[in-house]
Amino acid sequence: MLKLARNIIKLDVIRNVRTIHEKAFGKKFLLITNVGISLSLSSLGDFLEQQYEIYTNEIPNWDRQRTSHMAISGVSVGVICHYWYLFLDYRLPGRQIKTVVTKVVLDQMICSPVYISAFFVTLGILENKSKREVIDEIKEKAWKLYAAEWTVWPVAQFVNFYWLPTKYRVFYDNTISLGYDVFTSRVKHND
């Protein structure tokens, strides 16, 4: 009898997880899911970078405001990525090698610079920087992020565009991006 009760509970948990998954990755809530994932992992990336900086005595303690700003930048990037992937898959449907390679090239040539610029602009606004200061920071630091993108993202995006359905693209992107988010935080906050 106890074994039967445990099996019923397991089935109920599985059903609940499946229902949550279907809602989160369904059309109605996909934008919210993608933004939430981006916000969470951008925060985590900055938190991890700050823990490293504390460990190496570069900073004395965790700066919550810095992490909250990185989280907000994750929101702007999450929105960009959400609509970018929908647009790419609408304009370039299919998983043929030529189509996937075209998506990867467009992603690197168009979305990466937009994403990097949005990142610096969002943080510049949150940090009350002038337009000139934001432009100068982009000129000084964006190339480091863009160069790093070329080492990680072409292969990662090939996997993304070839194997994954559109609804999982931002989730996959952010999972791979956690290490990149640590690096992004480092570039942004260290001269």
Domain membership flag for residue 26: no
Domain membership flag for residue 107: yes
Rounded mean pLDDT, 63-75: 96
pLDDT at 2 over 70: no
Mapped onto helix, strand or coil, the DSSP state of residue 42 is helix
Taken in order 175, 64, 32, 148, the sign of the CA dihedral is: negative
The Cα–Cα gap between 126 and 65 comes to 10
User: Which of 86, 93, 107, 103 is closest to 166 using CA atoms?
Assistant: 86
pLDDT at 157 over 80: yes
pLDDT of residue 25: 86
pLDDT of residue 6: 66
pLDDT at 191 over 90: no
Q: pLDDT per residue over 47-58, tens digit each? A: 999 999 999 999
What does pTM read for this prediction? 0.87
pLDDT at 9 over 80: no
Domain membership flag for residue 53: yes
Cβ atoms of 32 and 23 within 8 Å: the answer is: no
Domain membership flag for residue 116: yes
The Cα–Cα gap between 3 and 167 comes to 37
Domain membership flag for residue 56: yes
Q: pLDDT per residue over 78-125, tens digit each? A: 999 999 999 999 999 999 999 999 999 999 999 999 999 999 999 999
Size of the chain in residues: 191
Angle at 132 between CA 126 and CA 138, to 5 degrees: 75
The Cα–Cα gap between 20 and 151 comes to 35
Domain span at residue 52 reads: 31-189
Domain membership flag for residue 4: no
Domain membership flag for residue 117: yes
Cβ atoms of 34 and 78 within 8 Å: the answer is: yes
Give me the number of domains the chain comprises: 1
- Banded pLDDT at 19 (limits 50, 70, 90): confident
Domain membership flag for residue 24: no
